[in-house]
């Protein structure tokens, strides 16, 4: 029987995080982003960025967590990254103060498609919420591609909702629309039966 759990990312996880990101993007975003952009992403470059994020986070509230599936062997199957909301969390021309205090931004929440629907995304999100609560955040935001129905459906099924902000990323002269979702961070753990 397979078991899953979440733990903080370690420096030696950077290569696997990059591999998961690349594999997931190439499947999940193949109809959203231009194929040549996905084909030309450099896994080694991504690994260096993840290594820096894990080893030298900008603050103690910046976190990278990994989801592990454990059976006869253990596999990294997904990851999540978040930190205090900054200008990257804003919509175009949105004033910096519009998000307010106590807001955390999810920059990544990915589970490799072949490991999907096994609770890894929910475990990652739950672990992030525990960290956000401990760090004193009261609200979380995340950008999702308008065409990424899976991410939007997952987040809205857990209480997230669009906050009305939108933007379009310029990817090789192609505008790719995104919408921002938000959720209140509960002050206490939510009781489950």
182 closest CA partner among 147, 134, 117, 132: 132
Does some domain include residue 191?
no
Please tell me the total count of domains within the chain: 1
Q: What's the angle, vertex CA 174, arms to CA 170 and CA 49, rounded to 5?
A: 45
Q: Name the residue range of residue 118's domain.
A: 4-184
User: Looking at the predicted structure, is the pLDDT value of residue 1 above 70?
Assistant: no
Does some domain include residue 189?
no
Looking up residue 125, the CATH number of its domain turns out to be 3.40.630.30
| Percentage with pLDDT > 90 across the chain | 71
152 closest CA partner among 139, 138, 166: 166
User: Looking at the predicted structure, is the pLDDT value of residue 66 above 90?
Assistant: yes
pLDDT, average across residues 32-45: 89
Top-confidence residue, 72 or 68:
68
Give the position of tokens 């420096």.
Answer: 11
Q: What's the angle, vertex CA 157, arms to CA 151 and CA 159, rounded to 5?
A: 105
**Could you give the CA distance from residue 160 to residue 157 in angstroms, rounded to a whole number?**
7
Sequence-separated (6 or more) residues with CB below 8 Å from residue 52: none
Top-confidence residue, 89 or 72:
89
Token pair, residue 6, equals 């979440």
Give the position of tokens 């370690």.
Answer: 10
- Supply the pLDDT for residue 72: 77
pLDDT, average across residues 55-76: 91
Of the listed ranges 92-96, 141-145, 158-162, the least confidently predicted one is 92-96
Does some domain include residue 193?
no
Does some domain include residue 106?
yes
Give the N- to C-terminal CA distance of the chain in Å, as an integer.
Answer: 23
Does some domain include residue 31?
yes
Does some domain include residue 190?
no
User: Looking at the predicted structure, is the pLDDT value of residue 28 above 50?
Assistant: yes
- Supply the pLDDT for residue 193: 47
């Amino acid at each position: 029987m397979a078991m899953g759990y979440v733990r903080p990312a370690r420096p030696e996880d950077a290569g696997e995080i990059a591999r998961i990101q690349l594999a997931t993007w190439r499947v999940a975003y193949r109809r959203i982003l231009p194929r040549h952009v996905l084909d030309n992403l450099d896994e080694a470059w991504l690994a260096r960025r993840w290594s820096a994020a894990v080893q030298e986070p900008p603050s103690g509230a910046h976190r990278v967590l990994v989801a592990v599936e454990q059976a006869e062997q253990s596999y990294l199957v997904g990851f999540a990254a978040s930190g205090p909301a900054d200008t990257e969390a804003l919509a175009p021309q949105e004033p910096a103060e519009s998000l307010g205090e106590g807001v955390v931004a999810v920059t990544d929440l990915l589970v490799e498609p072949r490991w999907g629907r096994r609770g890894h995304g929910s475990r990652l999100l739950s672990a992030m919420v525990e960290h956000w609560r401990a760090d004193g955040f009261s609200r979380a935001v995340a950008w999702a591609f308008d065409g990424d129905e899976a991410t939007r459906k997952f987040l809205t099924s857990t209480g997230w909702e669009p906050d009305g902000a939108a933007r379009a990323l310029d990817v090789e002269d192609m505008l790719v629309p995104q919408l921002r979702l938000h959720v209140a961070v509960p002050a206490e753990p939510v009781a489950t039966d």
